[in-house]
Amino acid sequence: MAVKYDDKKKIWVLETKSTAYSFGIHPSGKIKNTYWGKRISRFEDYPAFEGYFESPWWDWNDEYPVRGGANQTEPCLQVVYEDEVRDVQLNYKSFEATEQSLTIHLEDEHYQLLVSLHYQIFENEDLITKYVTLENCSYSDIHVENFKTGSFYLQPTDDYFLTHLTGMWAHETKIVKEPICDGKKVFESRVGRTSHFHNPFFAIDEKATEDTGNVWFGLLAWSSNWKTVVHKLPYENIQICTGLNEWDFNYALKQGEKLASPSVLFAFTDCGFGDMSRRLHDYERNYILPKQNAQKVRKVLYNSWEATAFNVTEENQRILADKAADIGVEIFVVDDGWFGQRSSDKAGLGDWVVNEQKFPNGLESLIEYVNSKGMDFGLWVEPEMVNPDSDLYRNHSNWILHFPNRPRTESRNQLILNLAREDVKEFVYNTVDGLLSRYNIRFIKWDMNRPIFEAGWPFEGNQRKMWMDYVTNFYDIWQRLKEKHPKVIMESCAGGGGRIDLGIMRYADQFWTSDNTDPYDRQFIQEGFSLCYVPKTMMCWVTDWAGKDTYPLQYRFHAAMMGSLGIGSDLSKYTEEELEETKKWIAFYKRIRETVQNGSLYRLISPREKPFTVNQYISNDKNEVVLFCLKNPEPLSMFKVLKVRLKGLDEHMVYEIQGSGKSYSGSYLMNRGLDVDFMQKHTVKVEKGNHFDSRVFVLKKRK
Ligand code: GLA
């Protein structure tokens, strides 16, 4: 059984394959955490509260810390009761358990606030999720000022490091690892989307590597304001508190009303960051991604944004579609610029009707053409937004989030519709549903190009609930669209990677990873992405972002093939030779994509540590291995032979390297390693004598 309760010790233990998480009823009546780490072989050894007097650590680790009593840790819950009492006292009430789940009910008896902690175990994926519900059982409103999901604790040691993902537009998901120092480290979003600056992920390790060492990690499933605090407490134990951001948060919980928090996924591994990522990837494929497409491979798409920008016309899209079909593309996507008076980012946003000058025969004509070439058709939308210069704004200026008497920030010349309003929600749903119902569209790229600032909701009493309702309405729209149009692939984009998280992944099949498509920069962005999110959701385009000569085409393809492949180049400018090469690589990708997208990723060499990226993917049946080796600038490296030791193979089996006539035992490949020859051939010289080069190998297990 995975959820166990020890009646004598009054502790619950949640056990997965290798992890245990435990808490119990402290003599004070509070629920306190007692353990998080590797599963302990003898059940009776799980710690409880005997001896807690000797250990000051026990005084800190409330399983659900609140503003109230003598708590000095970061609180998960802050409320104001009707008589202005702000002190919460939660006592244990009861529990409900199944083999895989546990709910603990806590109560502030005097004010009749019920707090329930819900845990779910994923035994095979070795993960646990938690979310919290509040229920107002009293006769008056309770104002919730802070409502986080989880507070986790690690015992004192000297050696904890924090890893998190940080960045900015065009440089998302940068991996940062730093020692945990005294005080608090905060990372968060306050802009109504997951954020380019930080991603709701944390990992705490004790000098772990890709393959070894203890890592405690968590991911919050939320696409708007969130906050994580890593707090080194006075006794050197660590608290990690994560959930909704209390910044500008205030939710009036009416009598009888319930409120659910986002869920946090958390787990422990003693096998390093590689194991952490593989578990997350499996979990996402098996439990989070929309069912219809979760196990299917993503098609190769073409997107015309970098080629034609806002200047899309039926004519130029047909030319690109011809080329795209010839090279083997499977989905042809028209990006921004197809609607209203949209010839730049200054006008038209919100007017989701086809621009007749650009498409005199309607969108149908282009779609039929694309379909006749054997490709699906896809479309870009940004339905939460509006340009002041648009009919939508002229008709519904009251739909905008803003404060009266204050200036409004017009980021990218656009304003934000208040999706928390029911009429706006229906407008957004009907807009996209209308497009999907009318046209044969099989792919939607849903953008959100600006952050939310100045989130006023004029004439609404409880304005700040907007932060919650915006997101729940947003999820509701995606859910309804998914149900009604299950064959449509949905991509979440927010000016690149500003909305990448497990919350939207329940409805989004994939993400636009970053607007930066430079293949060198991408290796860093993609490595960070792969830490938490499964590579099949990571859209990677081959483009001419840095010009055609900076990087070999092969290198650009190899960088993009490590996720789901797309093409964003201006194909009308490609020579016959370039088109032939492009076609060859797309055909190659189709042969390996099952392994890349549904297999297991081993990050063998990180571009952060060496001037190489080496990533290995093993198919689910373990019969195929795909190895990408990218060589980046390094002085004096013209004659480089890189040794690569593979991982996760069967040591007694023989693997044939396709196209080389060579074969080696798994044990040779994992111990002696493969020589990857970077002598000359595809090397392109750029300024300063730097070199970018790449190789890819496919290995098949001999039967
Ligand atoms: C955002 C996206 C781009 C593109 C443009 C269109 O920046 O990230 O890929 O769709 O919007 O305006």
The predicted-structure confidence for 566-624, as pLDDT tens digits, reads as follows 999 999 999 999 999 999 999 999 999 999 999 999 999 999 999 999 999 999 999 99
Q: Which residues, at least 6 apart from 200, have a Cβ–Cβ distance to it below 8 Å? A: 189, 194, 219, 220, 222, 226, 228, 242, 501
Q: 57: pLDDT confidence band, cut at 50, 70 and 90?
A: low
Q: 76: pLDDT confidence band, cut at 50, 70 and 90?
A: very high
Compute, in angstroms, the gap from residue 570 CA to the centroid of ligand 1. Answer: 16
- pLDDT tens for 538-562 read 999 999 998 888 899 999 999 999 9
519 Cβ below 6 A of ligand 1? no
- Is residue 272 helix, strand or coil? helix
339 Cβ below 6 A of ligand 1? no
Protein residue closest via CA to atom 1 of ligand 1: 495
393 Cβ below 6 A of ligand 1? no
CB 5 within 8 A of CB 95: yes
172 Cβ below 6 A of ligand 1? no
Cα 48 to Cα 8, 22, 43, 231, 391, distances in angstroms: 10, 9, 11, 23, 64
CB 319 within 8 A of CB 290: no
CA distance 408 to 415: 8
Mutation to probe ligand 1, out of 333, 342, 345, 449 (largest number of atoms < 8 A from CB): 449
3-state secondary structure 637-701: CCCCEEEECCCCCCCCCEEEECCCCEEEEHHHHHHCCEEEECCCCCCEECHHHCEEEEEEEEEEE
Cα–Cα nearest to 332, from 374, 298, 296, 290:
374
CB 12 within 8 A of CB 95: yes
Mean pLDDT, the chain, as a whole number? Answer: 95
Residues of the chain with pLDDT > 90: what percent?
Answer: 90
CA distance 615 to 600: 10
- pLDDT tens for 139-174 read 999 999 999 999 999 988 878 999 999 999 999 999
- pLDDT tens for 263-316 read 999 999 999 999 999 999 999 999 999 999 999 999 999 999 999 999 999 999
At 500 the pLDDT is 98
* 8-state DSSP, 284: I
Compute, in angstroms, the gap from residue 492 CA to the centroid of ligand 1. Answer: 11
Compute, in angstroms, the gap from residue 637 CA to the centroid of ligand 1. Answer: 37
Compute, in angstroms, the gap from residue 36 CA to the centroid of ligand 1. Answer: 42
Of ligand 1's listed atoms, the one at least distance from the Cα of 515 is: 8
Q: 41: pLDDT confidence band, cut at 50, 70 and 90?
A: very high
CA distance 515 to 689: 28
Confidence check: pLDDT of 42 > 60 = yes
Of ligand 1's listed atoms, the one at least distance from the Cα of 494 is: 8
378 Cβ below 6 A of ligand 1? no
Compute, in angstroms, the gap from residue 495 CA to the centroid of ligand 1. Answer: 5
- The beta-strand segments (E) located in 555-661 are 564-567, 600-605, 612-618, 624-631, 641-644, 654-657
- Is residue 488 helix, strand or coil? coil
Q: What are phi and psi of 21, to 5 degrees?
A: -135, 125
Q: 636: pLDDT confidence band, cut at 50, 70 and 90?
A: low
Biggest alpha carbon distance in the chain? 80
Confidence check: pLDDT of 689 > 50 = no
Protein residue closest via CA to atom 7 of ligand 1: 495
Compute, in angstroms, the gap from residue 219 CA to the centroid of ligand 1. Answer: 26
At 680 the pLDDT is 59
Compute, in angstroms, the gap from residue 512 CA to the centroid of ligand 1. Answer: 9
617 Cβ below 6 A of ligand 1? no
Phi-psi map region of 328: left, alpha, beta (phi>0 left; psi -120 to 50 alpha): left
Compute, in angstroms, the gap from residue 423 CA to the centroid of ligand 1. Answer: 26
Mutation to probe ligand 1, out of 492, 493, 500 (largest number of atoms < 8 A from CB): 493
> Which residue has 């194991």 as its token pair?
275
Return the active site residues. 447, 515
Range with the poorest average pLDDT among 27-31, 330-334, 483-487: 27-31
Confidence check: pLDDT of 687 > 60 = no
Whole-prediction pTM: 0.97
515 Cβ below 6 A of ligand 1? yes
Of ligand 1's listed atoms, the one at least distance from the Cα of 380 is: 10
Compute, in angstroms, the gap from residue 272 CA to the centroid of ligand 1. Answer: 35
305 Cβ below 6 A of ligand 1? yes
- pLDDT tens for 523-538 read 999 999 999 999 999 9
Protein residue closest via CA to atom 9 of ligand 1: 515
- pLDDT tens for 442-468 read 999 999 999 999 999 998 988 999 999
493 Cβ below 6 A of ligand 1? yes
Phi-psi map region of 340: left, alpha, beta (phi>0 left; psi -120 to 50 alpha): left
At 450 the pLDDT is 97
More confident residue, 159 or 241: 241
Section 354-363 average pLDDT: 98
- pLDDT tens for 172-218 read 999 999 999 999 999 999 999 999 999 999 999 999 999 999 999 99
Q: 21: pLDDT confidence band, cut at 50, 70 and 90?
A: very high
Mutation to probe ligand 1, out of 380, 541, 545 (largest number of atoms < 8 A from CB): 380
- pLDDT tens for 345-355 read 999 999 999 99
* 8-state DSSP, 494: B
336 Cβ below 6 A of ligand 1? yes
At 681 the pLDDT is 55
Q: What are phi and psi of 664, to 5 degrees?
A: -145, 155
Protein residue closest via CA to atom 6 of ligand 1: 336
CA distance 231 to 234: 9
Confidence check: pLDDT of 639 > 80 = no
At 56 the pLDDT is 56
- pLDDT tens for 333-349 read 999 999 999 999 999 99
447 Cβ below 6 A of ligand 1? yes
261 burial class (0-12, 13-18, 19+ CB within 10 angstroms)? buried
Mutation to probe ligand 1, out of 447, 514, 540, 545 (largest number of atoms < 8 A from CB): 447
